[in-house]
Amino acid sequence: MDEVKRLKYLKIALIVIGLMFIVGLPAMMMFVWPSGWGWTPPQPEYEHMILGVYATLGVFLILAAKDPLANSSLIWFTIWSSVVHGVIMLIHAILDETDRVNLLGDVPALLLFALVLWRLMREPGTAYG
């Protein structure tokens, strides 16, 4: 993929993922599929904290879309923190049967977001690529 196309798709991905963090995550946790995206049993204090952190990250991802290369550290943080969060949740979902539903909810979503951003951020021949 050429550089112009890659940056165009990266900008789109940053906006879409940012909106998913701001709007999609709360919708999934509260209305669409609470058992696949929230805590079991529900823990509103933790859910509010996660929503606040991800909404903030979402705003900054949307802002980063204006100039992704100037905001690469934020994007790489999003990639790696999503991988870490997703893997930790994956382990808990495997070990705790009450969390198994997360294997179909937020675990694949976090890993998908990380994969998309990684694919669009990586440059062949670099330490990250």
Structure-block tokens of residue 7? 């940056």
- pLDDT, position 1: 78
Give the residue, 16 or 36, on which the prediction is more confident.
16
Is residue 112 predicted with pLDDT exceeding 50? yes
Over range 114-129, report the average pLDDT: 76
What pLDDT score was predicted for residue 42? 84
| Model pLDDT, residue 126 | 47
Tokens 């929230």 map to which residue? Answer: 38
The answer to whether the beta carbons of residues 37 and 8 sit under 8 Å apart is: no
Q: Which of the pair, 99 or 47, is modelled with greater confidence? A: 47
